[in-house]
Amino acid sequence: MKSNIALGRVALCAVNAALLAFACSDDNNAGEPTEAGTGGHNAGGSSIGGKGMGGANNAGRAGAGGTNAAGNAGRAGAGGTNAAGNAGSQQGGSGGKPPLDGGDGGPVSYSLCGGKTGQELVTCGRYIVEHIDACGDCHTPRLPSGAPDTTKILAGSPSFTDIDPTAGVGNIPAPNLTQLKRDGWTADDVMAAILDGKARSADGGTEGLFPAMPYVTFHNMAKEDAAAIAAYVLSLTYIPNDIPEREPLGGLENVLPVKPVAVEDIPDPVISKKDPGYAQAQFGKYLAAQVGVCLDCHTERKPNGEVDMAKAFAGGQTFELAPPFNTVYSANITPDPATGLEKTWTPDLIQRLLKTGKDDEGEPICPPMPVGPQGPFGGMTDEHALAIGAYITHLPPMANGPDAGGRFPMCVPPPPPDGGSRDAATD
């Protein structure tokens, strides 16, 4: 086995038929947070593309090795730990608003769930799990057809992927999140996995999570939001599902967890503080790169598994999918004229893409991007989708493509079985 964390991460994305299934199926169960049938549907960041860029995003993101939820409760919350700058109200428990001072008051700490307690905190955590982070796709087993088993939402997958199935090395399950409370996990334990990639192990110690779990970017999530996720996960009704221990990783386990992204390395939007859209773009930065998963999927990895922040949001992450999609790449979503988003993209168009699953020409975005009415991002609030659009369209341009001279190859969804248009495949 190649001892390369980045290669292992690519292997995690070979979810075969599951990827096509999540583009066409709906498992965003709207039950109460304590019901078994809750949870999101797809763990990806955003694969926004202009013409010829349908880029993909990381469908493989399970918290390998024991759990996928959590981080250090005592951590100060780098990159925004409370709701100090949160101007706003929540819509249906689904998130705060950007500060109204335009950022002139200095650095702002963002949080979607700051100030919430009790059931409001649980509801807010559920929104992040289902529609911002889409945890359900990795933590829900698949049926032979590739469709999610809706009787076991968030109950884990016995073999999310296997880095080397012929050698008894590298089988990485997606943990059963519904059993964490039964197993004695506390909110602090759950937060330790989310923020720092450290999971409670069966022997009472801790083990580092494989970076398929995006703790490398979640590390910069507000502590209040990590606490809300923990509150929701620990409210889940237990669903039995036999999940094995992670197999040895050929020595890779000895270097886990991977070093997280430094908050100061996350690019700021290129926009004047006097611009009316400045606060919205800054809020979008938090949604896309700290509490959310866009940065994680749209940035290449170094051989040691760390995020290559010299190419932040510039795409190029490789995903091996089942035929007919085969190999696809995450898109360069910076506004580089040759390899990234075209100038015609606006925050409104990106909002529409996230909510409808269609690009600027009405074409469907290909898997594993979790967009559209039946994908997790389809349930994101309009406000949050627009803020992400405001940030993405103001990223500093970064040339990154085949020889930096063109966009990454686009995956083309197959025609539907009835021979209709490609649009019909995701309607």
pLDDT band, very low/low/confident/very high, at 102 (cuts 50, 70, 90): very low
pLDDT for res 403: 85
Closest to 227 in 3D by CA, of 193, 195, 187: 187
Residue 162 clears pLDDT 80, i.e. is over it: no
For the purposes of burial, counting CB atoms within 10 Å of the CB of 48, is it exposed (0-12), middle (13-18) or buried (19 or more)?
A: buried
Distance CA(60)–CA(412), nearest Å, equals 20
pLDDT for res 269: 98
Instruction: State the helix-helix crossing angle for 223-233 and 118-127, rounded to 10 degrees.
Output: 100
Closest to 19 in 3D by CA, of 369, 421, 419: 369
Q: Which helix (H) or strand (E) holds 164?
A: strand 157-164
Pairwise pLDDT comparison (144 vs 419), residue with the higher score: 144
Q: What average pLDDT score do residues 2-26 get? A: 39
Residue range of the domain that includes 348: 5-426
Residue 417's contacts (CB-CB under 8 Å, 6 or more residues apart) are none
pLDDT for res 378: 95
pLDDT for res 82: 37
Distance CA(306)–CA(313), nearest Å, equals 14
**pLDDT tens per residue across span 345-402:** 999 999 999 999 999 888 888 778 889 998 899 999 999 999 999 999 999 999 999 8
Q: How many domains does the chain have?
A: 1
Q: Which of 102-111, 161-170, 343-352 has the lowest mean pLDDT?
A: 102-111
